[in-house]
Amino acid sequence: MKTKKISGSEAVLLSLLEEGVDTIFGYPGGAIMPVYDLLYDYQDKINHILTRHEQGAAHAAQGYARVSGKVGVCMVTSGPGATNLTTGLADAMLDSTPIICISGQVHAPLLGSDAFQETDVMGFSMPITKWNIQVTKAEDIPGAIAKAFFIATTGRPGPVMIDITKDAQFAEFDYSYERCNDVRSYVPRPILQMEYVEKAADLINNAKKPMALVGQGVILSGAEKEMLAFLEKAGIPAAWTLLGASSIPTDHPLNVGMLGMHGNYGPNIKTNECDLLIALGMRFDDRVTGKVDTYGTLAKIVHFEIDPAEVNKNVIADVAVIADIKETLEAILPLINQNKRDEWLNQFKIAYQYEYDKVIKNDLHPEKEELTMGEVVRRVNERMNGEAICITDVGQHQMIASRYFKFKNTRSLVTSGGLGTMGFGLPAAFGAQTGAPDKTVVLFVGDGGIQMTIQELGTIAQNKAKIKIILLNNNFLGMVRQWQQLFFDKRYSSTELVNPDFITIAKGFGIDGNTVETRDKLDAAIDEMFNFDGPFLLEVKVEKEGNVFPMVAAGASVSDVRLD
């Protein structure tokens, strides 16, 4: 093995290059300065993108990872630089996003002394990372980075935090790099056990009314083709979780819509009518199940899952196949009988028509004077024909976009699921555009969420990222207001916003934009946005008190889904 004497700082960069990293999102500071100094000499090999806040760096790394399938990397300084990453780390942890965050730290002899900009990075990051490590010796840097990439990307992916003291960055050692392929006691890929595959196949073959629940695990495993082959052979209707969106094309005949609190009427109602629920890489989150005691009351449960900790955690499975979902689907396909189940599928069509008449028609083709979020998404669909990547922030617009955006390709929805992070949208959109530069990236964001990370307009402008930002402005924290209307007697406590002139702010950053308030100008404004060669902010002023339906109230049964 060849070695050469280099500093710890250079070892960081060379190790990242060994792992195929070509992009880092970050923000410099004193404790990480040695690495940034060496980065100056690696500008032709590593593209460093200066965000405007460390939280933005973490979310950008998430967006990059979600669309590219690669690891997102961000780098910050100690103290507030590291603590500002916590929201992104927690978000990535809940949404199984592989990112690696590198933070500088004070000199090792100062650890525990409350030195300037010292924080307990290991302590605060432990519960919100898949693994973390503090490096105090230069010679340990390559091994830590190699192990970090292995852990972040294998099994159920997740975030990793590497904290490196400043003296370790300065020190020199004989550098060599070896990729990590094994960690003692860590088994990322459980061994597939065919006896459970056979039991699952038997339940599926004998089911009269099965329904598949498609989660992000299918996307993370790259098992979209295997899933479609399985569904089509068995004739099983498939509903998807928020993060499972885009795993199955919107127009696929077996796609019956979104699950959960603001999911489609059919999948929610049929959950308690089907005789078999087949969970494909999803974790039975409370937003999907509603009241667990009344969930899937007539159904047996088959759970295909890579993470043993998620099995029997919320919903008890009759058969659990713990393995990589792609491997599981390949193994079960020959055991599945050919089936059509036309009568069962037709029941979902009837439910959809009922929902269309009660909700969807009014969302997409409103007769009211005020613009709706749904008609904006519909118009974008007509313009892009499912070829764009959809990014959302969090709130009412997130649910509307996820419900109505047309998906043709996998990895084309990036949103904050488990943590529900307002402010996620702008930096995640930039990261997504960086990870998929040849794709059109469309961001749907609310007037509340955009103000949480609005400084990242500077990152977008500086890098000339051609992101199309659609700000759906209702002058409210809309989702909270909806709950206040429905469950708190319309006591709108601290949810109405007095907003700034968003277009003027965007133009101050060097981003062009326009505002639309009436329906007759919407189409032309959307065309203007997509025809513009560069980033563009389109503010659409929508109805102030519009609600998102269907809705399963917190703690209610999925059978109690309401349409108004």
| 393-417 pLDDT tens trace | 999 999 999 999 999 999 999 999 9
CA dihedral 94, 96, 99, 104 (to 10 degrees): 30
Catalytic pick from 19, 54, 327, 355? Answer: 54
CATH number for the domain spanning 19: value is 3.40.50.970
Annotated catalytic, 54?
Answer: yes
Other C-beta atoms lying within 10 Å of the C-beta of residue 508:
12
How far apart, in whole angstroms, are the C-alpha atoms of residue 385 and residue 365? 18
Q: Check pLDDT > 80 for residue 2.
A: no
Tokens of 120: 């307990």
Is 184 within the bounds of a domain?
Answer: no
Strands 160-165 and 131-135, sheet pairing: parallel
Closest CA to 99 of 57, 48, 46: 57
Q: Are 278 and 212 in contact (CB under 8 A)?
A: yes
Q: What is the DSSP string of 455-509?
A: GGHHHHHHTT---EEEEEE-SB-HHHHHHHHHHSTT---S-B-----HHHHHHHH
- The yes-or-no answer on residue 116 being catalytic is yes
Which one of the listed residues 75, 134, 147, 166 is annotated catalytic?
Answer: 166
At residue 390, the 3 state secondary structure works out as: strand
Candidate from 2-11, 131-140, 221-230 with smallest mean pLDDT: 2-11
Residues 250 and 384 placed together within one structural domain of the fold: no
Total tally of structural domains belonging to the chain: 3
- Catalytic-labelled residue, pool 479, 484, 549, 551: 479
**Short-list 562, 526, 250, 529, CA closest to 375:** 526
In this structure, are 60 and 113 located in the same domain? yes
Could you give the angle at the alpha carbon of 94 between the alpha carbons of 471 and 189, nearest 5°? 130
What integer pLDDT is reported at residue 514 of this predicted model? 98
Give yes or no: 209 in active site: no
Find residue 75's DSSP bridge partners: 26, 102
Show the tokens assigned to 438: 């040849």
- Return the number of other C-beta atoms located less than 10 Å from residue 124's C-beta: 17
- Supply the pLDDT for residue 1: 60
Give the CA-trace dihedral at 90, 94, 96, 99, to 10 degrees. -10
Q: Is residue 496 part of a domain?
A: yes
Q: Does one domain contain both 43 and 84?
A: yes
Question: Pick the catalytic residue: 4, 116, 178, 208?
Answer: 116
Find the mean pLDDT for residues 439-444: 98
- For 93-97, what is the mean pLDDT? 98
Q: Report phi then psi at 525, rounded to 5.
A: -70, -40
* Mean predicted lDDT score pLDDT of the chain: 97
Q: Is residue 362 part of a domain?
A: no
- The structure tokens listed for 534 are 């560069």
Torsion of CA 310, 311, 312, 318, to 10 degrees: 160
Per the CB < 8 A criterion, the answer to whether 333 and 280 are in contact is no
- Measure the CA–CA gap between 364 and 374, rounded to whole angstroms: 5
pLDDT for 45: 97
479 noted as active-site residue = yes
Instruction: Give the pLDDT of residue 4.
Output: 85
DSSP-derived letter for residue 465 is -
d(CA 172, CA 184): 28
* Amino acid 3: pLDDT: 77
**Do residues 67 and 114 both lie within one domain?**
yes
Same domain (yes/no): 69, 105: yes
% of the chain exceeding 90 in pLDDT: 99
Instruction: Look up residue 361 and give its two tokens.
Output: 């028609």
Q: Which residues, 6+ apart, have CB-to-CB distance to 383 below 8 Å?
A: 526, 527, 530
| Higher pLDDT, residue 2 or 33 | 33
* pLDDT band of 322, cuts 50, 70, 90: very high
Query: 341 and 299 in one domain?
Result: yes
Enclosing domain of residue 34: 4-175
Of 18, 33, 70, 117, catalytic: 117
Over residues 526-552, the mean pLDDT reads: 97
